[in-house]
Amino acid sequence: MGYKYVLFDLDGTLINTNKLIIESFKYTYKTVLGLEVSEEEILKYFGEPLIVTLGRYSKEKADELFKTYIEYNESRHDDTVTIFEGVKELLEELERQGFTLGLVTSKRKKVALMGLELFDIKKHFDVFVALEDTELHKPNPAPVIKALELLGAHPSDAIMVGDSVFDIHCAHGADVKAVLVKWSAAHGFQGDDASADYVVHDTKELLEIIKR
């Protein structure tokens, strides 16, 4: 296949923000709307832009929901987020083997940088596409298309790695192959296995797919 470029999602793929995101949504819905929302319901929308998810529950209070979520999430970030096993080694090995890496996230750049810098992995990425960088967002292909443009890459030379159906659809819309990682909390709640080109269970398996 001969991939040259590897695009990664961030949350649920490289860093484990699952606990933080679930807690942030629950706190926000309870505080602003008085709603008790289940973990299963929250997991259905993992991977889409925050403002879109919050708007599902109240468009009228979207700004208040957003502000409450951000304040809670950022205050708890460094104490709650972890990096998935094998991720640092994977990124180092891919670089060593000559792959060019890009990051494609639905997060705001400021918050995404908090995670990248917390675990010292920002240095591995040649391009970094965040929420502010495109008008349209996952599952629309615009973020992956933007990353390809910045890299000067052809879609057939790239592969996208993510943990949600939004990542898979975003990649496919840009004619890029997609890998679904199964170490995320979102897996199993979005019915996404069948749409992915590859499904992997750990970083060693992922490396073998990328090297094909």
Own/partner pairs, 137-140, CB within 8 angstroms, 24+ separation:
137/48, 137/49, 137/52, 137/106, 138/47, 138/48, 138/49, 138/104, 138/106, 138/166, 138/167, 138/169, 138/170, 139/48, 139/165, 139/166, 139/168, 139/169, 139/170, 139/173, 140/170, 140/173
Round the CA-based radius of gyration of the chain to a whole number and report it.
16
The beta-strand segments (E) located in the chain are 5-8, 15-16, 82-83, 100-104, 127-129, 158-162, 177-181, 198-200
Given its phi and psi angles, is residue 178 left (phi above 0), alpha (psi -120 to 50 degrees) or beta?
beta
CA pair distance 45, 69, nearest whole angstrom:
15
Maximum C-alpha span of the chain: 52
Q: Examine the residue annotation and report whether 9 is marked as an active-site residue of this protein.
A: yes
Please give the backbone phi and psi of residue 38, each rounded to the nearest 5 degrees, phi first.
-70, 155
Tell me the catalytic residues: 9
